[in-house]
Structure 1
Amino acid sequence: MDPSSQNSSTAGNGILPTPAGGGGVHANTPASTPTTNSGIAVLDPAEEQKQNLIQSINSIQKTLGLLHQLYLTVSSFNVASQLPLLQRLNSLVAELHTMQKLAENCNIQVPMEVVNLIDDGKNPDEFTKDVINSCIAKNQITKGKTDAFKSLRKYLLEELEQAFPDEVESFREIRASSAAESKRLAQMQNALANGDVKVKTEL
């Protein structure tokens, strides 16, 4: 049987021919993705945002490839390169338009410091390194202050225990009972949140 006649008869029935490799029109749709009655895949907001981000990244990479090709064409330009140059310019403009449309669906906030580093020709990973180093330095400062207050508290308790032993003992007992009560309340709240305890109400 002639394959062309088979394809034409299939198209005449209003059914698109299945590409080689199987899967049909929704071959890239995950099996667990819910679909509507019309067969259109329905994605949750998080998955849709992820897909938009992947498409934007792919568009950026394609744009970089087109810019590289355009650079090669311009660097060795001659009369025969005029048509390829125009084609690549049109492809670049079309891809930039596609990138702009995809960017409208991506809600990502980029710090201005990263943009400034890129404008200066530096690696944007330096921003991440600077932020981590800054967090480590602030954490060390906070830890130093906490340790200083702990040392001061310990010193004051030792001095007060020598001057007022009975009052310090009472303070420790009250503090221990308060800590036990707070722990018990926290356990009850966790139990209520998990549904392990049923509260009975009396009319």
Structure 2
Amino acid sequence: MSSNDLPTTTAIANQLSRVLWKIHELEATLASYDATHAESLEQRLVQYEELVSQMRDMLKRGTAGVDTLHSEETQRNTLAGRKVPDGLVRALDAGINPDEYLRETFKACRRDNQISKGKCEALQLLFSNLLADAGGVFPEEAAEYRQLLGM
């Protein structure tokens, strides 16, 4: 990666993982520290400082190009351009499990779908009944209308 390239989320995560591992090594060294470990501690501190410096540089490069960076990875890892349903936010604030919210929302959508389906079927039945009644009163016009509809 050149100095002008913007860091990816994966690169930042890997660098952060290395920094955290180095912190763990430092803690282990300090937990059992005695004078014989001085050189090892100094080496680990230098390595830690280098990792933190690299991380700082990486983050500076990342924030410098935030406005111009529109890669798929960046968009995938942010909420920019995405809308969160208000009902979900209210449910989370109320302490409801998101899975339970999804289940209830699905049930409500299915119920509404069945209601809409029933209304469509009722309108189709009304149409066919009206056409049948019109055929009894105006047979020629009804036949012409059916022909125009392709029935």
* TM-score, length of structure 1 as denominator length: 0.39
**Highest RCO, 1 vs 2 (Cα 8 Å, sep ≥ 6):** 2
Which structure has more helix as a fraction of its residues? Answer: 2
* TM-score, length of structure 2 as denominator length: 0.49
